[in-house]
Structure 1
């Protein structure tokens, strides 16, 4: 039987309304508890169940503030009952109801996780009032402490992952301004498998990568870190293009173990002197080019994602001419797969370009932050993919026939990193 009731007290009182679940198979004892609750002066809503099996639905539904638990139920008894309730509702206060002859039962129940215990036949209204309030307060305090600890640990894990997934760019003489952002797909979530990096090679060219490992969580993040470090090492070792992607695919296959993870990525080589960008798309989408005339998506040949068809080695290159001044934005699909406002449609590349066109002029870092904020607001929390954005800005650098630029040797522009 289920009964829901509120003690007859002033509704304007600051006293909270306690949602109490009584698990008691003896109808007489259940009635006594109900009457005692009325005498406590507490504001409460009471639901009664006679077995743990019946109580499961209540514990899995709306939050319960306090469980009053008989230790002798038809389907479970003793400390096993406490353990079972705590497993179903780990952050709910549990007060055990024991018999007069069970001197040790209450202590054992508290050792098993109950906040307190009461002896049937010796409970008065004032004692029940204090016990319920204290147990609920203690349970909420324990929950807040656990959440704070979890937040701290999650922040530490994210910081460690971020160092691997979002490294400091390695630039020597380049004047390119690098802006990078990385956000997990949901609040309190671990960073996923998105990764990015920028390195200036010994050849003076700027090399960049943005990638996305399938899946979420620590396995995808670990593989993303592995691929990002492998990419940086291989680039510094002189590997380029198809050869570089082939080696990255071999590493992915070796590191993913029995999991069928794959990765998409865009490789970019920026040659400011020649005014070109060389692209290799491995299952990833094209970068965006921003000039004085606006922003557009670059057209580039597509190749297969890493790990989908091992050994195929289908990663054609595309060479794109660049203006003397502009910006290239590489990103993962967390930026475009969210919803476009109140509609059920995804934002997509067209929606992203329209959004960029509406944004006010700003410095690169502010512009990227505005873009991410606007896409999140349009999505309204309905999509939870990770998001990585890498923007490369360059200015007017007329090249000499020798390949040297007019401002070679001057300090490089400020780089922004989240």
Structure 2
């Protein structure tokens, strides 16, 4: 076809009558419509042309084909090419069919016996513009709904600590993975009770809306169980039972660490279920990895684990830094080398003089920069720092 290829409209003509197809082609030339026209004679050929997200921006569709009639053909084309504008071609006595086609999703209809070059060109241009507007509006609506869903998930995953004392330092951060701006399955919470300050950080395998919803469920359940008095391995067993009831996939599992700062301020009780070690920051600026006894992640072998609770001694001003594996699993080299826990500890040592809040921000920023040249941090990251104030 004539015309600038860069400005050409990709057209698919679905018409079994060779004479009508030739007429449409001549009208496009006379109407000076830059186009790249593909002509097919049946719905089956149209489906082949549209398969795999074809480039057609506009489909001219005859409603009477050898293998489809009326709105049935239109429905197939709309399903195969949801982003293409569709104009149906009708006979002189089929105005009602044309209106029905527009109501069913076509952008316009044209009567074959009344086609004029100018009308055809205008109809095609307007149809393409309307479809682009509809597509943009739909994308905007989808983005708004995703933002609202993200806000709901955020309220569930990232709660305000339930504290009655000012003697506890709590700093929490959440960073979604690079693949999506939506929150994933990482979660945390902090609750104060007479027997101490309880905290949890967890990670549902995966990072999408399903995992996020499950993370919300587990986070809320953890708070409820703690408020109801569940402690130690019994608490993890209850969470695992809930996970088994709520998960859609039997292979879904959850890692978590549960910590209790004892009222004597000298110890912290730690329970781990397949979760990474934590960093202990000492008042003098030193940092060390502490890997207490643990057990398998929740949901791997339901009912078969025996989680062990350990005591970690604390000095005044000691901070416990809990995190999910997204913080240290980013690639930092061309050979697939990762930051890993040792590299994360080195970063922690460099931020030894920082207070809790800037330290957490420093740790995340440095981990991101370490993997920036190799794709960045691909998984969600949650970090929770807590400890008694001096």
Which TM-score band (shorter chain)?
Answer: 0.7 to 0.9
Structure number having the greater helix percentage: 2
Instruction: Tell me what 1:400 maps to.
Output: none
Task: Describe the superposition over 1:244-284 as per-residue Cα deviations: whole angstroms up to 9, x where unpaired.
Answer: 21222233233447855332211122348544433211111
Cα deviation for residue 113 of structure 1 reads: 0.6
Is it true that 1:389 corresponds to 2:360 in the alignment?
Answer: no
- 1:18/1:365 Cα in 2 relative to 1: closer, same or farther (>3 Å)? farther
Given candidates 4, 8, 11, the residue that maps to 2:3 is: 8
CA contact (8 A) 2:285 2:352 kept: no
Cα deviation for residue 175 of structure 1 reads: 3.3
Given candidates 133, 151, 162, the residue that maps to 2:154 is: 162
**Partners in 1 of 2:328 and 2:42 — Cα distance?**
50
Report SS of the residue matched to 1:311. Answer: coil
Cα deviation for residue 138 of structure 1 reads: 0.9
- 1:365/1:296 Cα in 2 relative to 1: closer, same or farther (>3 Å)? closer
Task: Describe the superposition over 1:271-316 as per-residue Cα deviations: whole angstroms up to 9, x where unpaired.
Answer: 4854443321111111233456565432222301122223234112
Is it true that 1:30 corresponds to 2:8 in the alignment?
Answer: no
CA contact (8 A) 1:242 1:313 kept: no
Following superposition of structure 1 onto structure 2, how do residues 398-417 of structure 1 map, counting pairs within 5 Å?
none
Structure 2, unmatched stretches of 5+, are none
Report SS of the residue matched to 2:149. Answer: helix
Report SS of the residue matched to 2:114. Answer: coil
Report SS of the residue matched to 2:25. Answer: helix
Bigger mean CA offset, 311-320 vs 386-395: 386-395
- 1:250/1:65 Cα in 2 relative to 1: closer, same or farther (>3 Å)? same
Following superposition of structure 1 onto structure 2, how do residues 138-153 of structure 1 map, counting pairs within 5 Å?
138-153=130-145
Is it true that 1:240 corresponds to 2:234 in the alignment?
Answer: no
Following superposition of structure 1 onto structure 2, how do residues 20-99 of structure 1 map, counting pairs within 5 Å?
20-59=11-50, 60-99=52-91
TM-score norm. by structure 1 comes to 0.79
**Partners in 1 of 2:301 and 2:327 — Cα distance?**
26
Cα deviation for residue 373 of structure 1 reads: 4.8
TM-score norm. by structure 2 comes to 0.84
Cα deviation for residue 133 of structure 1 reads: 1.4
CA contact (8 A) 2:170 2:385 kept: yes
- 1:34/1:375 Cα in 2 relative to 1: closer, same or farther (>3 Å)? farther
Report SS of the residue matched to 2:68. Answer: coil
- 1:343/1:145 Cα in 2 relative to 1: closer, same or farther (>3 Å)? farther
Instruction: Tell me what 2:200 maps to.
Output: 209
Instruction: Tell me what 1:318 maps to.
Output: 310
Is it true that 1:172 corresponds to 2:164 in the alignment?
Answer: yes
Instruction: Tell me what 2:92 maps to.
Output: 100
Instruction: Tell me what 2:375 maps to.
Output: 380
Q: RMSD of the TM alignment (CA)?
A: 3.3
Cα deviation for residue 118 of structure 1 reads: 1.6
Cα deviation for residue 238 of structure 1 reads: 3.2
Given candidates 275, 286, 289, the residue that maps to 1:297 is: 289
Is it true that 1:278 corresponds to 2:269 in the alignment?
Answer: yes
Report SS of the residue matched to 1:208. Answer: strand
Is it true that 1:231 corresponds to 2:222 in the alignment?
Answer: yes
**Partners in 2 of 1:349 and 1:50 — Cα distance?**
63
Report SS of the residue matched to 2:321. Answer: strand
- 1:213/1:130 Cα in 2 relative to 1: closer, same or farther (>3 Å)? same
Cα deviation for residue 197 of structure 1 reads: 0.4
**Partners in 2 of 1:117 and 1:361 — Cα distance?**
72
Bigger mean CA offset, 143-152 vs 348-357: 348-357
Matched length = 385
CA contact (8 A) 1:212 1:332 kept: yes
Instruction: Tell me what 1:410 maps to.
Output: none
**Partners in 2 of 1:97 and 1:339 — Cα distance?**
56
**Partners in 2 of 1:28 and 1:323 — Cα distance?**
91
- 1:249/1:75 Cα in 2 relative to 1: closer, same or farther (>3 Å)? same
Instruction: Tell me what 2:365 maps to.
Output: 370
- 1:377/1:357 Cα in 2 relative to 1: closer, same or farther (>3 Å)? farther
CA contact (8 A) 2:285 2:353 kept: no
Structure 1, unmatched stretches of 5+, are 398-418
**Partners in 2 of 1:282 and 1:327 — Cα distance?**
21
Task: Describe the superposition over 1:99-151 as per-residue Cα deviations: whole angstroms up to 9, x where unpaired.
Answer: 33433221121111100012224222211221111111111111121122222
Cα deviation for residue 353 of structure 1 reads: 4.5
